[in-house]
């Protein structure tokens, strides 16, 4: 089966509720390519390496979490940005990008998909009043020590982990935000949660962890955000009988 780029855009926009979520990049069809879509490459970031892979697969579309045109960036099409766009346009490849809508979705979102891999039962948002809270809280199905969580993150996400806290501490309650979500540790600490997991770390994150008695784990921006685009692609493959391939371009950050 195939569908048109605008049909796919409409479907994804509805599914991910893009009009309801404030973001600092456009969500949806960022670069228009050919009309009919049968073959899709999914990935975390629309880097040159991912575009090259899509060209090799002869993909009609790329679907990513990190696209282009971020608020505040230089809008000129030069250098790296020119080369990426030139490659997409030369091969008539559509670029679909969904940022925050793909973090917070209750089934395909990066946050929920990460919880699945770590055996966490998902509860409410860290901001309970926000239905699209980008940080979530929950409980481990079975309480786990700090060191066991480090090991689980390493094994499940195939990543390196930076952590702060007592290796022997038993962790039951947890909050998390994939990617650059370390700033939410303060809200999680205020809720008295045992541990906070994110992709990135800042200098100040460690002080909050130490002084607010909340264990902290940074497992990589890329590694924690690998699973949303992958899950969404698998859903599209099944629903529309499309040929979808997830391409992981390794990134240690």
Q: Residue count at the site for Zn ion (CB under 5 A)? A: 2
- For the window 55-74, what string marks contact with Zn ion as x by the rule CB under 5 A? --------------------
Place of tokens 């002080």: 207
Q: How far apart are CA 178 and CA 171, in angstroms?
A: 19
Q: In the complex, what is the shortest distance from the CB of residue 65 to Zn ion, in angstroms, rounded to a whole number?
A: 6
For residue 215, report the phi and psi dihedrals to the nearest 5 degrees: -75, 145
Q: In the complex, what is the shortest distance from the CB of residue 17 to Zn ion, in angstroms, rounded to a whole number?
A: 18
Closer by beta carbon to Zn ion, 25 or else 206: 25
Closer by beta carbon to Zn ion, 194 or else 225: 225
Q: Using CB under 5 A, which residues numbered 138 to 197 contact Zn ion? A: 179
Is residue 109 part of the contact set for Zn ion (CB under 5 A)? no
Indicate the SS3 state at residue 171. Answer: strand
Q: In the complex, what is the shortest distance from the CB of residue 168 to Zn ion, in angstroms, rounded to a whole number?
A: 32
CA dist 8 → 2, 81, 95, 120, 137 (Å): 10, 25, 11, 31, 32
Q: Which stretch binds Zn ion (CB under 5 A): 24-32, 202-210, 211-219, 222-230?
A: 222-230
Q: Which residue is nearest to Zn ion (CB)?
A: 179
Closer by beta carbon to Zn ion, 201 or else 242: 201
Closer by beta carbon to Zn ion, 60 or else 225: 225
Closer by beta carbon to Zn ion, 102 or else 189: 102
* CB-based contacts of 231, cutoff 8 Å, min separation 6: 107, 108, 113
**CA-atom Rg of the chain in angstroms:** 19
Q: In the complex, what is the shortest distance from the CB of residue 222 to Zn ion, in angstroms, rounded to a whole number?
A: 8
Return the half-sphere exposure (C-beta side, CA atoms, 13 A cut-off) of residue 207.
4
Q: How far apart are CA 112 and CA 63, in angstroms?
A: 19
Closer by beta carbon to Zn ion, 137 or else 221: 221
Q: Which stretch binds Zn ion (CB under 5 A): 140-148, 155-163, 217-225, 240-248?
A: 217-225
Q: In the complex, what is the shortest distance from the CB of residue 2 to Zn ion, in angstroms, rounded to a whole number?
A: 30
Q: How far apart are CA 138 and CA 141, in angstroms?
A: 9
Token digits of residue 43: 């990935």
32 neighbors 5 (Cβ within 8 angstroms): yes
By the criterion CB under 5 A, which residues form the site for Zn ion? 179, 225
């Amino acid at each position: 089966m195939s569908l048109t780029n605008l049909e796919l855009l409409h479907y994804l926009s509805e599914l991910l509720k893009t009009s309801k979520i404030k973001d600092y990049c456009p969500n949806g069809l960022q670069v228009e390519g050919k009309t009919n879509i049968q073959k899709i490459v999914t990935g975390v970031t629309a880097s040159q390496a991912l575009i090259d892979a899509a060209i090799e697969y002869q993909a009609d579309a790329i679907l990513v979490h990190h696209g282009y045109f971020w608020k505040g960036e230089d809008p000129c099409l030069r250098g790296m940005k020119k080369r990426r766009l030139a490659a997409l346009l030369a091969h008539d490849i559509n670029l679909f990008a969904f940022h925050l809508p793909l973090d917070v979705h209750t089934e395909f979102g990066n946050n929920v998909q990460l919880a699945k891999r770590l055996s966490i039962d998902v509860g409410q948002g860290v901001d309970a009043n926000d239905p699209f809270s980008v940080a979530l809280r929950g409980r481990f199905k079975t309480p786990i020590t700090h060191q066991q969580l480090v090991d689980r993150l390493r094994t499940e996400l195939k990543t390196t982990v930076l952590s702060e806290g007592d290796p022997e501490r038993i962790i039951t309650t947890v909050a998390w935000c994939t990617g650059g979500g370390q700033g939410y540790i303060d809200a999680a600490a205020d809720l008295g949660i045992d541990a906070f997991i994110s992709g990135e770390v800042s200098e100040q994150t460690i002080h909050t962890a130490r002084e607010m008695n909340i264990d902290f784990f940074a497992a990589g921006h890329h590694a924690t955000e690998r699973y949303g685009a992958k899950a969404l692609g698998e859903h599209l493959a099944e629903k529309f009988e499309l040929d979808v391939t997830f391409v992981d371009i390794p990134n240690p950050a």
